[in-house]
Structures are given as C-alpha cells and as structure tokens.
Structure 1
C-alpha cells in the first residue's frame, strides 16, 4: 500500500502525546493508519544535535516526521536527517498557534508568508526522496480564508507539494491560547471540500473536530482523500483505530484492545530494561477502554501505580483484570467509565 493510501486515515501530530510509545500502541490497534511524530524543530536537530528526537520503532511504519521551522536551509538539513532515520514522509508544520512556536517564526504564523513556505518545502524536497507534505490552517487572525487558502495551496503546489492536511479552523495568533485555538474558531469543512474541487490534483486530508469513523467515512464519501483525527484518537484510541483497517482501508480485521494490552507487555518489559519508565508508556493507554465497564478502574490503577518505584508489566495485567473480569457495573459507574 502506498503512503497516499495510508493517509486515508492518519493520527495527528500532537505535542507531548504522539511520542514513540504512543505510536507503538496505535500501530498495534491499526496496521494501516498513517502515524505522525510530535513536532520536532529543525533547530533542535541541526543546531542542537538532538538526534534522540528521531527515535522510533521499526513497527511504527508508515510513520511521518513533522518538522517545525522557517529557514529553508535548516529545514532541508533536518529533512535529510529525518529521511536518513527512516521516516516515510517529512511534514512541515504550518498550523501550530503556540506563542513558543510563533517566536521561532514557524507554525501557523507561516500562513502569512506562503512564498517562504514554498521556498522551505522546495529546499526540503530537493534533499530527500520521501514525500514532503504540509499541515496548515485555513488562515490566521483577520485573513479571509476563501482568499488566502487557495493562494497558499497554489504556491506550495508549485513548489512540489502533492499532499496537504488542512485543519479546518483559523488560528488566532493573539488572544487565544493553543487549547482555545483547537475549539473556539469555527470549523469550515465546506471550504476544505471546496479546495479539493479547486485543486483536484492535490491529495487533501481534513483535520479538526472529527471524532469518529462515521465522520471520517462521511468526509471520504464526499470526495476528500484523507481524514486526520487528533484528540479523539488519543483519548478513545480503540473507538477510532480498532475498526479502522476494515472500514477505512478495506483490509484486515477489527483489533481487540485486550489483546493489544497483552501485546504491549513485552514492549513495556523492553522499555524498562532500557531504563524507561512505566508511566511513559501507560499514560498513553489510559483511554483504551473508554466507555467500557471497568474503564474507570483501569485508568485509576494505572494512574496511581505506574509512577511507583519498581512498577512493571504486572501492574498493567492487574489493571486489565479490572476490565476483563469485572462484573457489570452499576449504572452510575458506566456513566463515569
């Protein structure tokens, strides 16, 4: 399967969330969905030599590296490092609205300088053989999305980009926090669909507010090439990913979250042997049984126990027993699960 086909469903890059431990879990849930790293800044790699930020497990493929930056030369060097590390795609972040990102002149603020973005992606593509893609917003601040987004897409397409993910919200660089920027600006799904009609040669994925496979299938049926899901895939990973392969990709089977937990145990053992912390893995597993009887007990057992000295895979097995062997819960317990 080509990477464009894997991009029919992708999991959004999310700072502090889509770590390598998280991606390992998500890959067990879906063999086909395209996974993304957290954003890694080009200066951290090129100037800081933080090569550990490129660490990933071979099982994560297909997996894309998202870069942040605004200097074409530096981004090209970082893209080369990412490709040499084995990533299947290099993505440029043009959507993150945080103050820290703005101060580095990258992220959503790049929506204001499409010519610079074009220079960046052209420089990156010249250095790597894997695909260079862009994740962007529909605009920022007082920009008129219906005007700026077509111009932005036209310029990055001319620079060689063939696949883009559009977060269907504006970003407000002043006045809203990053968290508020994920919820408050209104969604404009129709504009993203219009961009597909206007740029039929581009592979366009939609992002923002999509929480279920039903919603993802609706966007695909309307003609978009892909759907990227973020927070819902993190907080309710089984709901989004367990049935993704047969429903979105037409292959494979529905995965069982209980079996996935059991498959995580050898990975956890390896991580601990290599000096890792149990909490670094289990914090990404807390939502695995969201909505199921015993989910609250699963979360509590992991949350309270994973940070304890000497905690290991047996803690996860204990928590799993609270889900798989628990009698049906009272109605109020199910509501809190």
Structure 2
C-alpha cells in the first residue's frame, strides 16, 4: 500500500483556562451531562492551570516518530489531529488536502479495541473526510498494538523503574496494579465477535497487563479501572483504582505500583486520578506508592509506530506477543477494518 503521510489522531485537551469548559462541552455533547458535573470536572483542569498535558505529550511523540521514520529511511510527513480540541482533525485533514496528500495512514493514540478506544476514531475519520468533501485523502487506520513487543517492552521498563522508586525493602511485597479507563459494561461487548472474544477491550487490557507481568517475572497482579463517569445506575467496569487500593490496604499490603497500561500518554485523567487521588489515598494510609510512566514516552514506542507503518507500505511481517485476538481488527497485520468495533445494539423494549 502506498502512503504519502501519517496522521497521529488523538483525543485532545485544553491548553488554557478559557478552553476548559468548551472542551468539556464538546466531549459530552449529546450525552445529557449536567452543567454542574462539567464544572466539577473543570476543577481538575484548574489544578493544572487549565492545561491538559496530552497535546504536549503528543507533539513530543510526533517528534520521536519523525526521528524514527528518518532513521528508518522513510520520508513521510507526520500530521496531528484531535477529536475534541485543536488541532481538530477536520482542520488537519483540510491542511493535508491542500498539501496534496492522497492517502495517509492513521495511528490512533489507543492500543485497544472497543467503541471508545477504536470505533470512535473511525467515526472521526469519516466525519473529517465528509467535512473536507471531494478531494479528501483516503485515511487508513493502523491496527491495534496492545500486544506488540515494543509496546510491552516500553511498559515493562516503565514498571521496573516504578518499582525502583520504592525503598528496596518494600519492593518484594509491593502489589502490581494495572489500570485503564473504565467504560460501561454494555460497551465492552463488540458486535460480530464470537462470545469467547466479545469483551474485546477488557480482554485486551488484561492481556497487555499479563504480558508485562510475565516479562517482569511478577507472579500476581491486578487489573482495575479509573475515570468512570455517568449515572451510578449504569454498570461500568470495576473495581475503581482507589477502591482497590483501599482493599489492598485492608489486606495489609504495604505498597502498590500502578501501571496505566490503558493509556499511551499522560493527560488530566491519568495525572489527576493516579498522581493525585490514588497517591494521596495511599500516602494518607501509610502505603508506599509508585506510578509507572505511560509507554508513549519511550523511544521504542515511536519505533513501533514505524513498524506498523512498514507493515502497510512494505509488507513487513506483523509481530504480536499475545494470545487474545484482535477479532477482525488488524488480523495478521491488516489495517483496522472500517466496520470494526461496532457496539452491540440492544433490542428495543
């Protein structure tokens, strides 16, 4: 497959106090979230001066990807677009069209399948192409990478470094806990997937966690969730990370190491939920606490992106460590299918 550009497609985040509420309104548009809840969430951003670190993280990642592409002898311009804040993907695609791009590969900043983690990025692509109209480049989303060796290696070394933050005497007894963004349990089931593989997102998160734990030689670990929203009446993936730390404390676990395996880079939810709420709870209860870096800061992550590009442009054989299939998304290195990760439609009552 020929390609003449690479687009990094991400969630987006505010870059100043005046951006926060418009950003949150865009994120929650059509979901009926009360304004009081938006104001409550906005306080998290106020804690960081109204700036989410995600755009800066993505710009730094793009720089590493450009370097890795150059080192691989690949002349491919890299563009940056977001779903929810500037640079919006519609504007970026208009720029790409003006630059003469005809076909671009897309790396989304999510390793996993599922509606929010994958399907919505296809919708972003469709919306942007419709906004640009005739002449918009073809956009091909690269496959899931939750079990790619470079992703796992990046996360593994980040966890190893986090263990080293603890006093040496506490490391052997510390509990390793992996965390990812919670979603409604109903959204964890993908349409068109066999029952044994239907829970695509949670199974892939659990598999990535298992692979990291195996590399570390850690015999036991936990997978928990964070950043849930929505009404309490709607079931979401559990347990919550802070609730789980409380359970570990009740079992006399002296220290915890948290790995945000569900996230490519830091943003407000990672920093607030883990570095503030989870860490503060642990400190208040005299528990040791260390948090691993997200995998995207590692240069191997950029090399992985180059490898995913070469799977499409040069037919490089795909690499994967896991036992959980992508179930139609990127099987044998193919790009994500445009109809992948469709949510299950419940019958009307």
TM over 0.5: no
If asked which structure has higher relative contact order (CA below 8 Å, sep 6+), I would say: 2
Question: Scaled by the length of structure 2, what TM-score is found?
Answer: 0.27
